[in-house]
Structure 1
């Protein structure tokens, strides 16, 4: 409703004058003569569409007359179409309440101030109309820090933006703005920044998937917008499997996976990320399952496959201690003259029930010899790492051979590689373009022809999902999120082809 829009405040200055956002809206209210009738009339006025419906405004208010308000009298705010002096604007419920002398219709001044308006309300009020299409709102939050990536045409408003973000988000204490591009200036995806508001302390604590992470936001990569993608892949991992996280960062995939008893070889080349990863593994008590490494990703792919195999061959396993309650022994019943008495009144001092006793047991979960999933969350360049998979299981073909007793075989690992590709206004067209682009790049780096899954790649409709997944060269492309007007982030998942996995190592 137009009357509930904020006032236009375009002062042309860099100062935020909160007083300019005060506004009074003249409406009507139904004053209730007996507060016990409030619930009844709220429901009936709501059903008759006579009550006020505005976000963040409760329709139940103190009586506008101060003396009556001090006595506890209440009123119900009415829709803007209702005018107190014009009974022809009153609906049937309101008229009936007035006729019964249970209601009176009175003028009401609804006062709205700066605290009422949302961040977007205030920004829309301050910014010129030609900047309304892309109001800075999709900022990344890490603990108490809000991280902006302002476009050039908003830079003159950057301090106002930061001040309003602090006002409207009580959990945020510091606002920073990125001043370079992630992935181009730093191989560790860190970035140069300026502090726009609040203290410059970027040591934060975040919680994701019931795990706690602590880090200096200026020294490692973290993106809270990827939480759903972290969860999506973690849900694919099964307890007892091995996952190799090639670019693990501080562990948003690795640590929660460890909590569900998935073995993870977690690697990051950034020494600061490695240090935070070690701390997260310890803090979240996943040491039996998650092992941290600090290596170049290309080297680590072969290293992980070899070390998992060797650790499995030596009988390594995760030992999990669990606490179990021992069966309780019930106290003997109290007997009198050979008759069992269960009435507590007959014995004012019954013997105490025995305390629950516990024992500890060890669960030993063996480490498999092969990796089930590789994760490569470095979208700017992860595809360039794919040549490192050539020969990853060279000489170990027997690990993936059919066994005579079950006629089943261990499948080669799934590779989940994050990347950037095109975005278009037409979502289906964009996905087709992205699939073609991503598959071409993957095929070039693998030295093996791949094609999109399902409709995008011409795989026969008669094949089921699992059968299609087993086909070499089939790539499932999932859109993770949009990152720029013409660019989206994707995750391409495919089973490592035998020709690549068993190729001779260089």
Structure 2
């Protein structure tokens, strides 16, 4: 139960600037308004006072008095809301009087509060620098709490880690990561600031179980809803080409709903855990997995599939996910002219939808569209079906998803470049 009481009234005091956690320094005694009631009148009185309860961690608003008088139950009220009997709403006071409860039953009581009574947020507000950002959000991946601390909070790392370890019962490890994700394997440097140095986690998402070493692969719990959105676009017997699949948050749920999945990731650790998770979820028969560069996966595996479709396979619905927002748009050029040298344009019968992710700054919707057009070297406006803001990464950085149709015009390169020049030579044979 979280505290609804401001720190100025009941929060920790005298701990500003603490860098090493000292739980004893959070002890304080406060005056709390109390209504004393008899046991048989507790239920009805409680209903009249419930909105006024003192709500703190590990604190029961209704307690035994420990005295020998007849008013053995004490209802503790929030001193921010109630400072006298008359602060209680009149209709509720009158209803209590009808129950035999009046101003004589109202008093103040000394209550000792301590570290266990406050949430991590209450503690951070009391300890960390005023008028600066504090630890207001974090991700939890299995037993790991994952932070991205600003520079002004780095000296408080041991305290922040220990508080989160204490307050979040499912947490055994707290890590702080750098802002920079390695663009090759999408993992980042991290520091254990509290708890066990144990990075092997288990996560459940979209009816699948994922296991992986969080220090070696990419996983972002904030993308769970986006994974679910893309899954909602897929039907049994559709085909998914997951170009930067990681440990499988798109691929495995798609396989589970009956899609045929081709999943690829360059990171050998992601590839290892992708296969592990496919086996664990009994989905190996629905997936083909690859440990390739995205360019090779597009120019060879996707191309081969399209050729097969053109040469006799019934037209299918193909989804292509490209969740590498730092650089996925750079791989779009390999779609342009992918089939140019194949004499199959009249046989093309695939319906292909691409979901590409990118990071942009100002004017995110237009910026995302422009990025896609720039990297395909043509005006993609006629082909784009949706631009979606997935999440705000920072005040000046958004993660966007651009959904577009990959048509024969693009694949066989029958469209003009943005500069009006004739179609360029097939890009898949060039160096990336």
TM over 0.5: yes
Match of residue 279, structure 1, among 276, 280, 284: 276
The aligned residue for residue 321 of structure 2 is 375
1:44 pairs with 2:87:
no
After TM superposition, give the deviation of residue 101 of structure 1 in Å. Answer: 4.0
Match of residue 367, structure 2, among 437, 461, 475: 437
- Compare 88-97 and 437-446 and name the one that shifted more: 88-97
1:495 pairs with 2:410:
no
Q: Give the Cα–Cα distance (whole angstroms) in 2 for the partners of residues 10 and 107 of structure 1.
A: 26
Match of residue 238, structure 1, among 230, 235, 254: 235
- Compare 135-144 and 212-221 and name the one that shifted more: 135-144
Q: 1:102 to 1:57 in 2, by over 3 A?
A: farther
The aligned residue for residue 216 of structure 1 is 213
After TM superposition, give the deviation of residue 438 of structure 1 in Å. Answer: 2.2
The aligned residue for residue 33 of structure 2 is 28
Give deviations 1:240-288, integer Å, cap 9, x for gaps: 1001000000000000111111111110011111010001111111223
- 3-state DSSP of counterpart to 1:221: coil
Q: Give the Cα–Cα distance (whole angstroms) in 2 for the partners of residues 36 and 110 of structure 1.
A: 25
Give deviations 1:359-381, integer Å, cap 9, x for gaps: xxxxxxxx866451110000000
After TM superposition, give the deviation of residue 392 of structure 1 in Å. Answer: 3.6
TM-score, structure 1 length as denominator? 0.72
Q: Give the Cα–Cα distance (whole angstroms) in 2 for the partners of residues 229 and 66 of structure 1.
A: 57
Unaligned runs of 5+ in 2: 414-424
Q: Give the Cα–Cα distance (whole angstroms) in 2 for the partners of residues 299 and 82 of structure 1.
A: 68
Q: Give the Cα–Cα distance (whole angstroms) in 1 for the partners of residues 29 and 23 of structure 2.
A: 15
Matches within 5 A, 1:138-177: 138-177=137-176
Q: 1:311 to 1:291 in 2, by over 3 A?
A: farther
Q: Is the 2:260–2:286 contact (alpha carbons within 8 Å) kept by the matching residues of 1? A: yes
The aligned residue for residue 355 of structure 2 is 416
Greater gyration radius: 1
Q: 1:449 to 1:74 in 2, by over 3 A?
A: same
Q: Give the Cα–Cα distance (whole angstroms) in 1 for the partners of residues 98 and 216 of structure 2.
A: 70
Q: 1:89 to 1:439 in 2, by over 3 A?
A: closer
Give deviations 1:428-447, integer Å, cap 9, x for gaps: xxxxx223322222212212
After TM superposition, give the deviation of residue 388 of structure 1 in Å. Answer: 1.0
1:397 pairs with 2:345:
yes
The aligned residue for residue 418 of structure 2 is none
Unaligned runs of 5+ in 1: 316-366, 402-409, 424-432, 452-471
Match of residue 10, structure 1, among 3, 12, 15: 15
Aligned residues: 406
Match of residue 247, structure 1, among 244, 249, 253: 244
Give deviations 1:150-171, integer Å, cap 9, x for gaps: 2211111111111111111111
- 3-state DSSP of counterpart to 2:217: coil
- 3-state DSSP of counterpart to 2:222: helix
After TM superposition, give the deviation of residue 100 of structure 1 in Å. Answer: 5.5
Q: 1:299 to 1:109 in 2, by over 3 A?
A: same
